[in-house]
Amino acid sequence: MPQSVASQTVDERRKPAWFIYFPVTVKFVVAQIGAILWVLFSFWIALPWIHNLDTVIGPILTILIIGGVAIIPGYISGFMLFSTLLDRRPRIVSIDTYPPISILVAAYNEELVISDTIHSVLLQSYPGMHEIIVIDDGSKDATAEKVKAFTDSRVRLIRQPVNGGKASALNAGLQHAKFDIVITLDADTYLYRDALQKIVGRYLSDPSNTAAVAGALAVRNSRTNWITRLQEWDYFHGIAIVKRVQSLYQGTLVAQGAFSLYEKKVLQELGGWAPVVGEDIVLSWGMLKKGYRIGYAENAVVFTNVPESYRQLFQQRRRWARGMFEAVRVHPGILLQPRLTLQFVFINMLFPFIDMSYILFFVPGVIAAFFGFFLIAGPITLLLIPLAALNNFVIYFVQLRMFQSRGLKVRRNIRGMFLYVFFSQLLMSPASIAGYASEVLRLSKTWGTK
């Protein structure tokens, strides 16, 4: 931890008289109890339905259906709900001097967006030295020329003669980075005001074993079509709250490449980014396996372009799912390291079963229910609806408060919310299943989109 950071007590504010601090382990136990009680209540209510289902299809298939479409999703939703209610973000310490940082931007055929990205960095009021290293990864368009147009001495261009992939580009940039703190930024990502200061401040305020900090992603092109409107809520609700809860329990699982901070020495210790599809996931789990911690700066906001067609979205989510399996294959030891966030690793391992259950059981069950057959869409499934509604309500107001604190306004996107709540899993599950299968079958690897 840099020596310029003042003691944690310098910036501590007086707590109100009614304030009671609960240790993280207590919050974890409370959230577990709440989630388990919800599952037990749901199971008790649904006992007659479970008996009828068992009579028709037998015990094994009944267990698979109940577990995949109700018990496990209900437990996850309950745990996320109670954890979100218990979460209190730690304050930023008083910082005398901000350390210098190196910002790596890997770019391949990004002539339409790279200028805006660089401008957003140059407009930051970061109170410390910083350099911007753009790695042109064999682009066939005018990406390099757009970068060369910047006369600011902080902007540097590295050109790779052929496209070697994102990991190769970032590793090339890492070799040229001057400073001990490295930040990665996607070439189509726009930094919101003070994002650099917020993410560095979070790093300096977190425990000393913190080796990386993930920033907060919001959707920049949300108005394009229904696909991007849906993703606006996915990033605002789903992705953000998962990272928030993981950081509550002292360990975000992934520092995404789109905007994250890393300690240079740890990157070098791990050999940089591996040449895999999910290079950020594999790198993050490598850090966790070595005992490092990954933080989350929920107020270090950037706006990124998301896929604008279902084909692009399918490729992206397939890559994300495959990246998770890559991380397990490369770092199997992470499954044996006791930590609070180990639960999230095991939950990730259950995603193939959850996705398959959704496609094979839940969707046919809902379709059958429209025709009067309620054998699969039973009481537990129906009980998930109010739990999901409450979960979304809580998450919305938590995220709204954060946005307002940053001077941001949540756009009215009712259609996107409707699509996200009712159709996001229908769109994402097939892509995830394709990703799992691709890694199991060791199919050829392409980086696809984002």
pLDDT of residue 123: 95
What is 7-71 written as a DSSP string? PGGGSPPPPPTT-----HHHHHHHHHHHHHHHHHHHHHHTHHHHHHHHHHH-HHHHHHHHIIIII
Domains of the chain in start order, with CATH, are 101-336 (3.90.550.10)
Residue 18, pLDDT score: 43
Average pLDDT, the chain: 88
Q: How far is CA 418 from the centre of its chain?
A: 21
pLDDT of res. 445: 63
Work out whether strand 181-185 and strand 259-263 pair parallel, antiparallel, or are unpaired: antiparallel
Q: What is the pLDDT of residue 9?
A: 32
- The tokens for 419 are 């699509």
CA distances from 323 to 165, 284, 360, 450 (A): 15, 11, 24, 13
* DSSP, res 309: S
Counting as low any pLDDT under 70, the low residues of the chain are: 1-21, 378-380, 382-383, 445-450
How confident is the model at residue 446, as a pLDDT? 59
∠ CA(167), CA(170), CA(175), 5° rounding? 125
At 6 the pLDDT is 37
* Residue 17, pLDDT score: 43
Rounded to two decimals, what is the model's pTM? 0.88
Return the pLDDT at 2: 40
State residue 14's pLDDT score. 38
Model pLDDT, residue 386: 78
Instruction: Report the C-alpha dihedral over residues 277, 281, 284, 290, rounded to 10 degrees.
Output: -80
Could you give the CA distance from residue 358 to residue 388 in angstroms, rounded to a whole number? 16
- Residue in 297, 278, 281, 272 with CA at minimum distance from that of residue 214: 297
What are the strands of the beta sheet with 101-107, ordered from one edge?
155-160, 130-137, 101-107, 181-185, 259-263, 210-219, 293-304, 189-191
